[in-house]
Structure 1
Amino acid sequence: MADAPTDITLHQKSKVLEVVFEDGIAYNLPLEYLRVYSPSAEVRGHGGPMQLVTGKKDVGVDKIEPVGNYAIQLHFDDGHNTGIFSWQTLREMGEQYEANWNDYLKRLEDAGASRDKLWH
C-alpha cells in the first residue's frame, strides 16, 4: 500500500488538486483529469473498456471526504461521487498524467467529442 500524502489541497480557482507525498513528490492534478479518469465503475467500466467522459473542462469539486486511512472521495459538482481515490491511485495518476492526458485528448478527437460542456 502506498504511503499517505502529507498534504492535499484543493485549489478551487485553478481547478487543481495538489497532492504532496512524504518523499517530497508533489502532483498538481487538474480536476477535469481526475473526473475523466475517476476510479469508478461508471468511468472504468464494469470489466469492459474505459468510458469516454466528455464535457468536463470546467468541472469542480464541492467536497473531499476521507475514506478510512487509505483514500479520499471527491464529490464533483456534476454530481459524480462514486470514485474512491486511494493513495496509490493518486500517485499513479500523478506519475502517468502526461501519457493519460494525451491519450484522453486523442480519444476525444477520434470520437469527435469535446472537453466543453455542450449545454448550459
Structure 2
Amino acid sequence: MAGLKTDSPTPTALTVHSQSRLLEVAFSDGMEFKIPFELMRVYSPSAEVQGHGPGQEILQTGKREVGVVALEPIGNYAVKPVFSDGHESGIFSWDYLYHLGANQTELWADYTGRLSQAGVSRDAPMSGKKGGACASH
C-alpha cells in the first residue's frame, strides 16, 4: 500500500479528546469525523492485529476503555497512535482514518458480528494470544 493518492482528502485538524476517547478529524473536503479510540484500536492496521493475510486477523477484545496517550506524526501522510494498552505499531494513513470515520456504522456492525460469532464479549480480556514473529511485545 503506497502513500496517499493525489486526490485524497487530507486532515486540516486532528484533535485528541481524552475524556470522551475520540479522535476528531477534519478533512480538506469538508468532512469531519469523531472516531472512537476503541474503533481505531480494534481496526489497527498493524500486523499484530491484522495478521499476515486475509483470515489471519486477531479479534481484539477489552478495548472499550483504551486511550490514546500520544499521536506521533509519520511524515505528512499518517499518524501513529500510542494506545494506553501499550499498542503502538499501527500506522494510520490519512486514507485509512477517512475510511474509519466514513464507515464507522458498518465497521462496528462487522466487529460486533465477529465478537458474536466467536462467542466473546466486547469487554472480555484478550485471550493469552502470543503473536507470531512480528509481535511487538
The interval holding the TM-score normalised by the smaller chain is: over 0.9
Could you tell me the TM-score, scaled by structure 2's length?
A: 0.82
Candidates 6, 14, 17, aligned match of 1:11: 17
Q: Residue 98 of structure 2 corresponds to which residue in structure 1?
A: 91
Bigger radius of gyration: 2
Q: Which amino acid aligns with 1:56?
A: K
How far apart are the structure 2 equivalents of 1:94 and 1:18? Answer: 9
Could you tell me the TM-score, scaled by structure 1's length?
A: 0.93
Identity %: 50
Alignment of 1:72 onto 2:79 = yes
Unaligned runs of 5+ in 1: none
Q: Within 5 Å, give how 1:12-27 maps onto structure 2.
A: 12-27=18-33
How far apart are the structure 2 equivalents of 1:3 and 1:106? Answer: 30
Kept after mapping to 2: 8 A contact 1:16/1:28:
yes
How far apart are the structure 1 equivalents of 2:28 and 2:10? Answer: 8
Alignment of 1:41 onto 2:51 = no
Superimposed CA distance per residue, residues 67-89 of structure 1 (whole angstroms, 9 cap, x where no aligned partner):
00000000000000000000000
1:117 to partner: Cα distance? 4.8
Q: Which amino acid aligns with 2:35?
A: L
Unaligned runs of 5+ in 2: 127-137
After superposition, the CA RMSD in angstroms is 1.3
How far apart are the structure 1 equivalents of 2:125 and 2:110? Answer: 21
Equivalences, count: 119
Which is strand-richer, 1 or 2? 1
Superimposed CA distance per residue, residues 61-113 of structure 1 (whole angstroms, 9 cap, x where no aligned partner):
11000000000000000000000000000111112111011110111112121
Q: Which amino acid aligns with 2:15?
A: T
